[in-house]
Structure 1
């Protein structure tokens, strides 16, 4: 089970839930999220093992993205939002809520 207490996990999931079509290399994620590469790789492997993230090989590198077929994607999205919502100001919360509604709608269309 993945713990949302880790700052790295929260940042990583937050990024991918808000950008579900995005696929990035570890170096890009490290740079974009301002995270240490070694710790980021550990969390990515945990999330990939859990099935939340998926990887795609490109040459000798891997692209990582959210697994939209993950059985608990919708529930994870809600749990993440509840976890991070105290840290989001009201302006950003409105934007994120709208974006989440779009993601949930797309997800429901995908599973039907």
Structure 2
């Protein structure tokens, strides 16, 4: 669907790279290799996004490094469109409303790094999770979005210990439970 609205495949890949995970950073040659496109094609799109204020650029050594401008007024909208395009919003809705005591849902793997792929990897943090029902939801959601879904379950205690060892660009928090007391 997104490829109907945005005809440039390079542009879609850049949006996915930078707007799915706000921690994503990349430079021209790295993107050229990842996307399998010429450096000129990638450079043109990077310049367009930078000129529009969607990307920030900084210099690290002799490299110009790009990151998403999370302060841009369109950032939340673009992020939400990508989540809907990839089916992540549907997965989260199914999982968090019917599964048990889910505290957090994290995106990991290639999508967390901003790379499009056929498999969505999610980390579920919680307790009292109905594993049989989870398997049914996973299969249903997988058919619904036409992508395979890989799930990893952790208790909050174990995930808290492991999280410090994971690079921020390798995971991205998609959803977190907030009680009514937290909002006050």
Question: Same-fold call, TM > 0.5?
Answer: yes
Higher helix share: 1
Structure-2-length-normalised TM-score: 0.44
Q: Per-residue deviation at 1:53?
A: 0.8
Q: Per-residue deviation at 1:90?
A: 5.0
Aligned mates of 1:26, 1:45 — CA distance in 2? 11
Q: Specify every segment of 5 or more residues in structure 1 that has no aligned partner in the other structure, as ranges.
A: 103-112
Aligned mates of 1:31, 1:88 — CA distance in 2? 26
Higher strand share: 2
Aligned mates of 2:31, 2:146 — CA distance in 1? 21
Deviations along 1:67-102, one digit per CA (max 9) or x if unpaired, are 11111111111223444559851527x8xxxx5734
Task: Give 1:1-112 correspondences, 5 Å limit.
Answer: 4-83=6-85, 85=87, 89=147, 91=149, 99=172, 101-102=174-175
Q: Per-residue deviation at 1:35?
A: 2.2
Structure-1-length-normalised TM-score: 0.68
Q: Which has the higher contact order (CA 8 A, sep 6+)?
A: 1
